[in-house]
Amino acid sequence: MTLANGNAHRMTNNGDVSKPFKIFVGYDPREDLAYDVCRHSILKRSSIPVEITPIVQSDLRKKGLYWRERGQLESTEFSFSRFLTPYLANYDGWAMFVDCDFLYLADIKELTEMIDDKYAIMCVHHDYSPKETTKMDGAVQTVYPRKNWSSMVLYNCGHPKNKGLTPEVVNKQTGAFLHRFQWLEDDEIGSVPYVWNFLEGHNKVVKNDSTSSPKAIHYTRGGPWFETWKNCEFADLWVNEMQEYMEEKKSNAS
């Protein structure tokens, strides 16, 4: 299941202007609608060709790419499979991984224009220590260094260090090694403005400061598709996007 838009604008991906920008979205059956809305929000606003592929654990298991047992603290099916992104992109060009609980409010082209080849990855360097003990639909909330850094990552897939992210490594390494990017040196991790991974319930919009307005909202505690979080901050924006997606889906089916 890969979806691409056909907009005329082109961007460079590893020197090939004809390639769409690859985006891999974490998929969990419990958040099927969240995935659809996230995908819709990207496609709707993108002025460059993008290719969106869900990372579906069951598919990866069938292909022999993912075999590790699910740990008790893994809140989603893509907690570790996300790190297969460079492999799934054939270690070629730049690609993005993003959790499915994102809502994009800006053109993804703006994000790609920040890409710097000197880095192995680029992401928002959050300092996030949630106060809640549970999230989503009752999943255990955990606190660890660099929490939420791995929830939206631009990968320089051809970087020598990222070629070490093989299926064997992703299946066997610890959560600390993967989520803290311990295969990299600190100066190989570039920074992206927090508005591209704006944590609902944590980051704040500063009055009269347009640079603080979110370009991508991350409903990291849980989004409106969960009953517990139906009234979270920015819930109305997600609901509006969802309704638009549903209307388009219904129209396309008729």
For residue 19, what pLDDT band results from cuts at 50, 70 and 90?
confident
What is the pLDDT averaged over residues 192-204? 94
| Residue % of the chain over a pLDDT of 90 | 76
pLDDT tens per residue, range 141-183: 566 467 789 999 999 999 999 999 999 999 999 989 999 999 9
- Angle made by CA atoms 152, 79, 3, in degrees to the nearest 5: 60
Q: In which band, very low, low, confident or very high, does the pLDDT at 12 lie, cut at 50, 70 and 90?
A: very low
Q: Among 49-63, 126-140, 227-241, which is the least confidently predicted range?
A: 126-140
**Is it the case that residue 253 has pLDDT exceeding 90?**
no
Show the 3-state SS of the chain. CCEECCCCCCCCECCECCCCEEEEEECCHHHHHHHHHHHHHHHHHCCCCEEEEEECHHHHHHCCCCCCCCCCCCCCCCCCHHHHHHHHCCCCCEEEEECCCEEECCCHHHHHCCCCCCCCEEECCCCCCCCCCEECCCEECCCCCCCCHHHEEEEECCCCCHHHCCHHHHHHCCHHHHHCCCCCCHHHEEECCHHHHEECCCCCCCCCCHHHCCCEEECCCCCCCCHHHCCCCCHHHHHHHHHHHHHHHHHHHC
pLDDT at 126: 84
**Mean pLDDT over all residues of the chain?**
88
Q: What percent of the chain has pLDDT over 70?
A: 84
> Given a cut of 50, is residue 92 above it in pLDDT?
yes
Res 54 pLDDT > 50: yes
Q: What is the pLDDT of residue 130?
A: 61
pTM: 0.86
Contact 47, 4 (CB under 8 A): no
Look at strands 198-199 and 50-55 and give their pairing.
unpaired
**Nearest-angstrom CA–CA distance, 44 and 154:** 20
Domains, the chain, ordered by start: 21-253 (3.90.550.10)
- C-alpha 87/C-alpha 209 separation (Å) is 39
- Can you give the pLDDT at residue 132? 56
| C-alpha to C-alpha distance for 162 and 85, rounded to whole angstroms | 10
Q: Quick one: average pLDDT of 51-62? A: 97
Greater model confidence, 54 or 7: 54
Inform me whether the pLDDT recorded for 204 exceeds 70.
Answer: yes
> Looking at residue 142, what is its pLDDT?
60
